[in-house]
Amino acid sequence: MSEIPAELRYTKSHEWVRALPDGSLMVGITDHAQGALGDLVFVEVPEAGRQLSAGDACAVVESVKAASDIYAPLGGEVLAGNDSLATQPELVNQDPYGQGWILRLRPDADPDSALLMDAAAYGEFVAAGH
Amino acid sequence: MLPGQAKMGRRTPLYEQHCAAGGRMVEFGGWDLPVGYGSQIEEHHAVRRDAGVFDVSHMCVVDLRGPATQALLARLLANDVGRLTAPGKALYSCMLREDGGVLDDLIAFRLDPDWFRLVVNAATAEKDLEWIGSHAALAGVTVTARRELALLAVQGPKARAKTLPLLPTDCMAAAAELRPFFGQPGGDWFVSRTGYTGEDGFEVALPAAEAPAFWTALVAAGVRPCGLGARDTLRLEAGMNLYGQDMDESVTPLESGLAWTVVLDDARDFIGKAALIEQRHVGPRRRLAGLVLQERGVLRSHQRVVAADGGEGAVTSGTFAPTLERSIGLARFPVATDGMVQVEIRGRLLPARVVKPPFVRNGRILVEF
């Protein structure tokens, strides 16, 4: 079974969201998602300063087989993309909740107001075959 | 963002083995097959450096028997089965429509003068059987789809050495002597020195009931189970076309990098010949060639290709090539296109070099990038 850390929030498109002490959010893809995609060979992250609306395609992860969009879980300003992924896309496979993070975001809205799942709800969502 | 859930397809005799080995099952050509068992890149390297095994039981073995078999295949295939003078010799060929469009690509073995064996693609098998059958009936040739056979491809520099001791005694000696592109039946089994990876190896057709034990023995001998994902990266590095993606009924072999498989300068009258002669006379407008992407990113089918002279084409297959550690692809574009082109990836034009496939053979990189 894939790992689903209890302290994170999750989207239906298999992103995770971590609230940082400074109010910004870190976003990545879940262990379940990286497992389903297989070996990642290319990741395109957004540049700092880009304004995103919730649901915007804001990054791309490409596995051997296919390209997949990453969607912004909330609107806000991109503070940073994870530039390490340009040369080491495999970090997303190896450490999806740590070194494989994809972007940091300063959200426009309170993250608690967004329709994000907690770990238990996301676990059920995955178990239901999504 | 995730690939869709697998639709229920047909199951090969090794379905249980795939699931037990952690295979991620996907639907392909109407069959449930493993895309991989873990890292597709590690599976790829296992075949380039050692040995891997693929379940290709979805492909269809078709036996043609009768005195008129060779004459029938001389009519149905663009390559010349008359060249198969040695028993067991195989050739790769396209089967064409009257207008030269490619119905399928296949391997044909001459097993004896009245018995040829074809191996055809899974998704096209029914169409092929109907086409072959409609011509065979007139010629008095019997056509038998050998659905009861499983088919395993054991590929890699150490594949033959690891496979030979596991073969039944009645085909072991003949298999050890097989030259490249030959096949030999032994009892209910059939072993050929063929493949779709650019590496040495065997393809083994055997009764379905015996397939799980053979698979298990191969894995115990250190042959790595490999899925469709690695099969695709290996065949693309080897510069081999995939039917339905790199060619189909809308293009001819001359537009698909397969002119070498077509024999036009003999008395044979095969279906599609007149169209190909006409196309050769006027000159094909398009060709299929290889691309090596010069920057980070991944070539994918349907991406737009733009040449320096404004000519346009499209990528037909693209992937990340683990041996080259960059992205490669096949693309169809105007015949004059060469040198550097640009490929549109998500709205940006990235440079790619046009090369002549194969990219990799027997573990060695053959193209400049």
Q: Quick check: B1 and A14 CB within 8 A?
A: yes
- Confidence check: pLDDT of B105 > 70: yes
- Asked if B110 and B129 sit in the same domain, the reply is yes
Which member of B1, B35, B322 has the closest CB to residue A65?
Answer: B35
- Asked if B105 and B214 sit in the same domain, the reply is no
Write out residues in chain A with pLDDT < 70, as ranges.
1
pLDDT of residue A115: 82
**What are the structure tokens assigned to B122, written together?**
């899974």
Is this model's pTM higher than 0.90 or not?
Answer: yes
Which member of B24, B41, B296 has the closest CB to residue A64?
Answer: B41
pLDDT of residue B59: 97
- Confidence check: pLDDT of B180 > 70: yes
- Asked if B71 and B126 sit in the same domain, the reply is yes
Residue with tokens 């095994």: B53
Q: What is the CATH number of the domain that holds B342?
A: 2.40.30.110
β-partners of residue B191 are B184, B204
CB contacts, 8 Å: B232 with chain A? 64-65
Q: Quick check: A62 and B346 CB within 8 A?
A: no
Q: What is the CATH number of the domain that holds B130?
A: 3.30.70.1400
Task: Give pLDDT tens digits for B272-309.
Answer: 999 999 999 999 999 999 999 999 999 999 999 999 99
pLDDT of residue A32: 96
Of the candidates B237, B264, B293, which is a domain's last residue? B237
Domains in chain B: how many in total?
3
Domains in chain A: how many in total?
1
For residue B134, being part of any structural domain is answered with yes
- Confidence check: pLDDT of B208 > 70: yes
Average pLDDT, chain A: 95
Average pLDDT, chain B: 96
Q: Which domain holds residue B316?
A: 284-365
pLDDT of residue B183: 98
| Closest residue in A to B318 (Cα–Cα) | A65
Q: What is the CATH number of the domain that holds B191?
A: 3.30.1360.120
Task: Give pLDDT tens digits for B254-265.
Answer: 999 999 999 999
Mean pLDDT over residues B129-135, rounded? 97
How many CB atoms are closer than 10 A to CB B31? 20
Q: What is the 3-state secondary structure (H, E, C) of chain B?
A: CCCCCCCCCEECCCHHHHHHCCCCEEEECCEEEECCCCCHHHHHHHHHHCCEEEECCCCEEEEEECCCHHHHHHHHECCCHHHCCCCCEEEEEEEECCCCCEEEEEEEEEEECCEEEEEECCCCHHHHHHHHHHHHHHHCCEEEECCCEEEEEEECCCHHHHHHHHCCHHHHHHHHHCCCCEEEEECCEEEECCCCCCCCEEEEEEEHHHHHHHHHHHHHCCCEECCHHHHHHHHHHCCCCCECCCECCCCCHHHCCCHHHCCCCCCCCCCCHHHHHHHHHHCCCEEEEEEEECCCCCCCCCCEEEECCCCEEEEEEEEEECCCCEEEEEEEEECCCCCEEEEEECCEEEEEEEECCCCEECCEECCCC
- Asked if B108 and B227 sit in the same domain, the reply is no
pLDDT of residue B3: 54
B-side interface with A, Cβ within 8 Å?
1-3, 5, 24, 35-36, 39-41, 229, 232-233, 296-298, 300, 319-320, 322, 327, 346
CB contacts, 8 Å: B1 with chain A? 13-14, 29, 33, 68-71
Rounded distance between C-alpha atoms, residue B345 and residue B192, angstroms: 40
- Asked if B48 and B109 sit in the same domain, the reply is no
Q: Quick check: B35 and A38 CB within 8 A?
A: yes
- Asked if B86 and B129 sit in the same domain, the reply is yes
What is the percent of chain B where pLDDT is above 70?
Answer: 98
- Asked if B119 and B152 sit in the same domain, the reply is no
Mean pLDDT over residues B164-184, rounded? 96
- Asked if B40 and B155 sit in the same domain, the reply is yes
Q: Quick check: B3 and A69 CB within 8 A?
A: no
Residue of A29, A39, A58, A60 to mutate when probing chain B, most B C-beta within 10 A:
A39
- Asked if B50 and B158 sit in the same domain, the reply is yes
Task: Give pLDDT tens digits for B335-346.
Answer: 999 999 999 999
For residue A36, being part of any structural domain is answered with yes
Q: What is the CATH number of the domain that holds A29?
A: 2.40.50.100
For residue B245, being part of any structural domain is answered with no
This model of the complex carries an ipTM of 0.88
pLDDT of residue A1: 67
Residue B45 pLDDT level (bands cut at 50, 70, 90): very high
Q: Which domain holds residue A23?
A: 15-106
- Asked if B18 and B157 sit in the same domain, the reply is yes
Residue B7 pLDDT level (bands cut at 50, 70, 90): low
For residue B3, being part of any structural domain is answered with no
Which member of B24, B300, B322 has the closest CB to residue A67?
Answer: B300
For residue A120, being part of any structural domain is answered with no
- Asked if B155 and B45 sit in the same domain, the reply is yes
